[in-house]
Each structure stands twice: as C-alpha cells, then as structure tokens.
Chains A and B, each alone.
Chain A
Amino acid sequence: MLAGAFVVASAAIPMLGSIYIVFMANMILMYVVLAIGLDILLGRAGQFAFAHTAFFGIGIYATSLVNIATGLPFYLTIPIGACIAGLVGALIALPATRLKHLYLGLATFAFAEVAQWVFNNWEEVTGGANGLRFQPSQTGFGEITNDLEAYPFVLAIAVFMVWITRNLELSKLGRSMEAIKESEHAATASGISVNRTKAIAFTISAVYAGVAGGMFTLFQSYVHPDVLGFDTLVLVLSMIVIGGIGTLPGVIVGVVLLGLLPEVMRGLESYQEFIYGIILIGVLMFMPRGIWGRVLSLRDSMGSRKPEGKITASQGEES
C-alpha cells in the first residue's frame, strides 16, 4: 500500500507544473537507485566498500558514450552501461574479498580516487576536466530533451530497481548476504561460500550504481568528474545511515529527506554542510538504526505486534 501511494504521488509530480520540481524528482529517484545499491553491499552484506561513485561514473560515461557511438535507445544503452559497471565491480571484487573492514574501506576508496583521476585525465574518452556533454537519449520513437520527458522513464527504472531489491531481500541470496555479515563461520558451515557471496554483492552493487549513472544521462546533459568524488559518496552514505541502513524503506526515506533538504534550506546555503553534520550526529546519537528503525520500534512499543526481527532491535549495537 505504501508502495502504491509512493507511485501515485510520484506520478502526480509533473502536474505540479514546475520543471524544477521535476528535475528534483528525477534527481531523488536516481539517488534512490544509487543508495539502494550501496546499501546492498554495506547494509546487507556488511562490506565496508567505498568505490560506489566510481561505478556510478562508469555507468554515466559508458551509457553516454554508447549512446553517442550507436544511438541505440536508452533501454539498451543503460543495461550496457550497467553491465560494464558490473563487470568492473566483479573485477574489483576479486581482490576485495581478501580484505576486511578498514583495509577494504581504504582499498576501495583508493580505487574510487583512481577512477576519478581517470575520468579527469582520459581526455579522448571522458572529455577530461572539461566534462562530457551527452547526446539526448533515444526512446526509439524520438529523443528525450528535457526533465519532463525523462521523468516517466526515470520513475519506471527506479520502481523496477526497488522491486528487484524487494525480491532480493526475500530470496536465498539476500539471506546469504546477511548471514556472511553476521557470522562468516556459521555461513560457511551452512554451505554459503563467503567469497562468492561477497563477489556477487559487489557486482550487484556496481550494477545498481551503473543503472543510476544511466538514469543520470536521461535527464542531465552534461557530467563533470567533480560530481563523482568524495562529496557524493558522503551524501549517499548519509542518506543510508539517516534513513536506516539495511532497510529498503529506510534508505528511500533517507534519500528523499536529504534530497529535499537543500530546498528547505534555501538561502542558508553557506550553512548547508553544518546542518548536514548536525542532522547526521543527531541521528547517530538518538536513532542509531536511522529514522526507519525508530519508526519500527515506536510501532512495536505502541502496538502489540511482534518485533519484526533485525529492524526492530533498534538498540544499534551493530556497526
């Protein structure tokens, strides 16, 4: 029902008239996919990997370059871009499965920095520091030339990715990911290959980032390597942590909240980082499981419902 309400509300957005609101909606929907993808690796499989913006960038450049080269419709270029991101993700997964915790974080962060350096310096392909101007995405019937035209497709992709994530959550693979986060020993003894599951999580996460990159090319006309850096990673991380790590509704709440925040704070731009920081610290202190974890624990303490497992034990001992 919640999902239905979400779709109806989203469908109504273009009727608000303002093209800027539609742009915001596109942006937020793209961040939903980007954040869910990082959360699969971080929140579900428990891998502290920070190469997400690199895969996002690969998705943007690959999708856009394939479009420029072939003029194929977006429903082909975006999967191609996502596959390329996933392929690189799978390659990174090989060494990454040998690393843990802080070391994994540092190694993947280093990879993200290298990727950004490549985006900045491989001028023949990425346009280097001048950025890359996209060509309009093809629909097979015409071109997507503005935010309003892009919106239905962006919305459809986001809904599709959320639906896939929901299925992942309910599947054996989703459970295996959680199991390797909780206890590698128990998982191994139960027949779950820890390395294989990590590699799959890495690859899936990179594919999500690649899809988000493809969505970016639908409604944007230009990318500069600066948006593929640490700032974006921190923003996506904050969305996950504030909304509720490892929970699908939580991540979406976090994305919408932080996505709208710059609008709410218009005129306060110079305080933006400061306000972000305050919110992040506040959430970490008072809602360690994020907003969604708090909602669930309130619901449980009010009603007589049975606690719903991982989400409701909101004391947040878990890292």
Chain B
Amino acid sequence: MTSPFFSLDNIDVKFGGLHAVQGLSLSAEAGKIHALIGPNGAGKSTTLNCISRFYTPSSGDIRFEGKSLLATPAHAISGLGIARTFQNIELCMQMTALENVLVGMSAVIPKYSAFFPGTRRREIEAEAIKEAEALLDSFGLLSERDSLAESLDYGRQKLLDLARALASKPRLLLLDEPAAGLRNQDIAALNTLLKQLASERGITIILIEHVMQLVMGVADSITVLNFGQKIAEGTPAEIRSNEDVIEAYLGKGDHAPG
C-alpha cells in the first residue's frame, strides 16, 4: 500500500481538560480539495493549526509526502511546500500588498548575504518582485501594489492573505474559512479559483468553511467534525444526506448555516 499524499493518523489534541481533537484520522489525495466542516468548536481550526505546526498533537502522527511533520517547527513548514491562510486575516498591515507577497515568498527566496549589495542580491530581489507582481495581477490586486494592507477592503485583504500563502508555491494549501464575510459574487469567484488551483496547478487543498455553497461546490471529499470527533466522511452528496451530519450541523432546512 502506498502512503497517501497527506494524512492525519489518529491525532489527539488536549488543552488542559479540553479534549479538542479526539483520534482524528483523515487522508488527502494530491490535487484534490478536501473540506473540513462542523459546528463552531468542533476542532477544525485546531486540526489546521496542528498541520501547520502551531500546535503539536499529544498523540498521533501527521504525514506529508511520506514523512512525519511532528519534528518540523512551524516556520519550516512553508519550505516543505505547505502554506496556510488564517481565519482572522493575518497580514502585515503596515506593509504594502507587494511586501506582503514578498514575505510569503520567504521560504523560496534563496538565502543570500543580507547586508552587502551586489548584482546577485539585486537580481534575486528583482526576480522576486516580478513574480510577486504577477501573483498580485492574477488576483486583480496589481493596482494596489503599493497600498498598505490595512487600507484594503475586507475582501481584498482576504485575497491578499491567499496570495501571500500561494507565494511560496505550496503543494498543500490550508484554508481557514476563506469565504467568511465575502459577498456572493466573491464567493463564486473563489469557487472558480480554488478549482483552478487544484486542477490546473495540482495543489491539494484542505478547506475549513461554513459557507456550504462553496463547500458543496468545490470539495471532492468532506470530513465532518463534531466535539473533536469525526462523525462522517464522504462526497458532498453523501454528506448532504447523512442523518448524523444533518442532526449535528447542517440542519433540516433547505438553507445551510452561513
């Protein structure tokens, strides 16, 4: 049996007396979009924080491309090809949009002498800036190149957060509620974008989201958490009709919770 592209093997996370994640296992196939859904406090963000190594599970293993991530510090994750966005946007607010993308490229910009100028350093920086501009352009943010992140509207900050994450050319992308607070047309655009990232660039995406319109639209598979435990797993169609999930999260109405 070949090892999956990415997997969580029976992880537990405890905060004092709170057992936030209990024996969670899941695996993700390369180039697919996997959604993680469930009510608030179900342990979704905690799981994501484990993968990006902000937290360490008390037991279990996290494996990416055949290797365990448990010995990897959080700042080395980006270099391995894993990037993330944050539920509450984490941008360098007093830096420009371009600078934020350059920060996102930290793991892929080669190390070089920081102090002494030279053509090599100038070349590296010029190349990085060109790449960052192309990325901003693809998000329609090029006109905001020199605007401070804090001066962008909420939707554009979300996009910039995503651009920053993509700047490191990740193979695994962790998204924590990318659609929260977005307008409907922006969610539709996000839907298209995520599908493109997965199908055209082969990026595997783990998506936490409450906006069911997006989840059901893009996910190849869905894992449902409740009180730190996995209660269901399957395709969007299977999840939609799963009685436990309806009971715990989706509700019986036609409208999914927002």
Query: Hey, which bits of chain A sit against chain B, CB under 8 A?
Result: 164, 167-168, 170-176, 178-179, 182-183, 185-194, 196, 306-310, 313, 318
Contacts and interface: CB of A to CB of B under 8 A. Distances in A.
Candidate in A188, A196, A318 with the most chain B CB atoms within 10 angstroms: A188
B168 A190 contact: yes
Contacts of A308: 146
Interface residues of B, number: 46
Contacts of A186: 86, 90-92, 100, 103, 164
Contacts of A188: 54, 74-75
Interface in B218-240: none
A164 B73 CA distance: 31
Nearest to A178: B95
Contacts of B100: 186
A183 B91 contact: yes
Nearest to A180: B92
Given A183-B91, A309-B96, A175 B102 contact: yes
B221 to A, nearest CB: 24
Candidate in A172, A187, A190, A306 with the most chain B CB atoms within 10 angstroms: A190
Given A191-B76, A191-B78, A183 B115 contact: no
A167 B95 CA distance: 18
A191 B169 CA distance: 12
A185 B94 contact: no
Contacts, number: 118
> B interface, by DSSP: helix, strand, loop or mixed?
loop
B92 A313 contact: no
A182 B95 CA distance: 8
Contacts of B102: 175
Contacts of B103: 175-176, 179, 186-187, 190, 192
Interface of B: 52, 54, 73-79, 83-84, 86, 90-96, 99-100, 102-109, 111-112, 114-117, 121, 125, 146-148, 150-151, 164-165, 167-168
Given A182-B93, A309-B148, A172 B109 contact: yes
Contacts of A307: 146-148
Contacts of A183: 90-93
9 contacts: A167-B117, A178-B99, A179-B106, A183-B91, A185-B54, A190-B83, A191-B79, A192-B106, A307-B146
A186 B92 CA distance: 7
A171 B75 contact: no
Contacts of B106: 172, 175-176, 179, 187, 190-192
Given A182-B93, A183-B90, A318-B94, A189 B165 contact: yes
A168 B115 contact: yes
Given A172-B112, A186-B91, A192-B106, 19 more contacts: A164-B116, A168-B115, A172-B106, A175-B103, A175-B106, A179-B106, A186-B90, A188-B74, A189-B77, A189-B83, A190-B167, A193-B73, A306-B146, A309-B96, A309-B146, A309-B148, A310-B94, A310-B95, A310-B148
A190 B90 CA distance: 11
Contacts of B90: 183, 185-186, 189
